[in-house]
Structure 1
Amino acid sequence: MSLYDDAVLVLKGYEDQADLRQDYLDHLAAHPDGMWKACHAGHVTASALVIDPTRDRVLLTLHRKLRMWLQMGGHCEPGDADLESAALREATEESGIGGLSLLPGGPVRLDRHPIPPPCNWHYDVQYAVLAPPDALHAVSDESLDVRWFGYDEVADVADGSVVRLLEATRARLGA
């Protein structure tokens, strides 16, 4: 199965955010290249919020270009088997943490946001991952910093998208 086909199946199976989910599906139907950065109308991205083993903190990255605290994530690559693999790869690369595990249940939420030209939109499929007990993070080339934040600190440093992802993740965790 192709990454495109996986994305369509994942989105069709995602039960929340019905209007936005349909926008994603419409975008992919209109753009067979909609998984790739080269699609200037917008493209699907995959991200993951890293949760610490005690489940009371999240690891955010200070994005080098945007200069914003965000979850780990980015563009899909041809070697990605599926959206989950893309999100896990991005989280591992950007956090420096090996042994991350996806939170069960598929995507936590969707977030479509404008990006600077030449592209127009990121259609982000957002997951959550749990860090192993011995997690040691590192700053990647794409980051200025990587830092743990308590749940109650996130709204002070991150934008509404990250806050909504954290809220949805906490609901999934029952926290």
Structure 2
Amino acid sequence: MVDFENLLKQFAFVEGMDAAAGLDSRPDLIDMTPAEFEHLVRQLFEAMGMKSWVTQASKDDGVDGVATNEDPIFGGLCIIQAKRYRKAVGVDAIRELAGTMEDKHATKGIMVTTSWVTKGGHEHANRHGRMQVIEHEELKYLLKEHLGLDVLISLPKPPPKGRK
């Protein structure tokens, strides 16, 4: 049995805010502040059935959010990186997330980005085996499916083919 109370003591959380309520009819996620985006991602994970928190902005050990799934077989501690980017997320960010996962004893790491992750980043995440990447179109789909939000993500150039 995982002792979530003990695992969660290693993080400094901030008070939750309702980032979804402040969005109008078809908001552009790129216009959000990084903190608003992190809270929106937290709300998404909560809507998907997890308990979720946003960490403090500085000295967060590379952790933007933490989610827990208390299922005794498939659950565990999940480290979340939320990147409100206009350009690609590189392999270095994926490596950092992998290292943070190990340091924090997380069962899963999730990179959530408004843009896309490079081929090298995807390859590293796949080799690691306990990482998931949620990028551009999948993020839009999940926000619509779980929070009822129809959002825009204005990127200066479209993601490469196969990485919408």
Compute the TM-score of the two structures, normalised by the length of structure 1.
Answer: 0.28
Greater share of strand:
1
Structure number with the bigger relative contact order (C-alpha 8 A, sep ≥ 6) is: 1
Compute the TM-score of the two structures, normalised by the length of structure 2.
Answer: 0.29
